[in-house]
Amino acid sequence: MKRTLIGFIAIAFVAALFGVAAVNADAAEYIGAKKCKACHIKQYKSWAKTNMADSFENLKAGVKVAEKKAAGLEDKDYTHDEKCLKCHTTGYGKPGGFTSIEETPKLAGVQCESCHGPGSVYKVTMKKIQKEKKPYKTDEQKAQGLIIPSEDEKGCMVCHGSDSPFTEKVDAKYKWVFKDRLEKTHEHFPLKYKQ
């Protein structure tokens, strides 16, 4: 009896260990650009100058009235319209993501995690890399949920595709060219520990 019990506890223990391992990337939640800023100040400053950073402003009444009209939209307050929020905020409807401007103001606009994936898991291992000045491979970070944007255009098309009111059908200036857009995301800087 005692032996069975010990066996059972051992199995439960191993299962719990694997359980934790399996959760990892899938359990990743959105944490907001301020958290990334602490370690990636250069990318943050460069991104902050783009229109993505204050993209939420465009949902307010009286802002970009002519552009909205050209796209068939009215001049009204869209800041609580979920149709717009899914593209003008970070992680809308996903774990840890934007819910409303009152509850999650730090996730307004198109932030780092819109392109790089939710960071609660990979930031932990990045912290280790930084502390221990430890060489790492990008694949290890990807297994933690990090997205390398140039590897898959689909990640961009969720927002830049035909669901957007602002496509080249409305104005040629909205034309999507993946290569050009990748360059305009933020300035790129050399990495120290990447192998």
Q: How far apart are CA 111 and CA 35, in angstroms?
A: 11
Contact between 106 and ligand HEC by CB under 6 A: the answer reads no
Q: How far is the CB of 144 from ligand HEC (least distance, A)?
A: 10
Q: Which is nearer to ligand HEC, 10 or 134 (CB)?
A: 134
The token pair at 49 is: 């100058």
| Footprint (CB under 6 A) of ligand HEC, residues 111-130 | 111-116, 119, 123, 126-127, 129-130
Residue with tokens 């840890």: 96
Out of 4, 21, 72, 83, which residue is the one contacting ligand HEC (CB under 6 A)? Answer: 83
Please report, as a single letter, which amino acid is at residue 158.
V
Residue 124 CB coordination number (10 Å): 11
Pick the piece of the chain touching ligand HEC (CB under 6 A) from 5-13, 17-25, 49-57, 98-106. Answer: 49-57
Contact between 47 and ligand HEC by CB under 6 A: the answer reads yes
Q: Which positions touch ligand HEC (CB under 6 A)?
A: 31, 33, 35-36, 38-40, 43-44, 47, 50-52, 55, 58-59, 64, 67-68, 73, 78, 81, 83-84, 86-88, 110-116, 119, 123, 126-127, 129-130, 138, 141, 146, 148-150, 155-156, 158-160, 163-166, 174, 181-182, 184-186, 188-189, 191-194
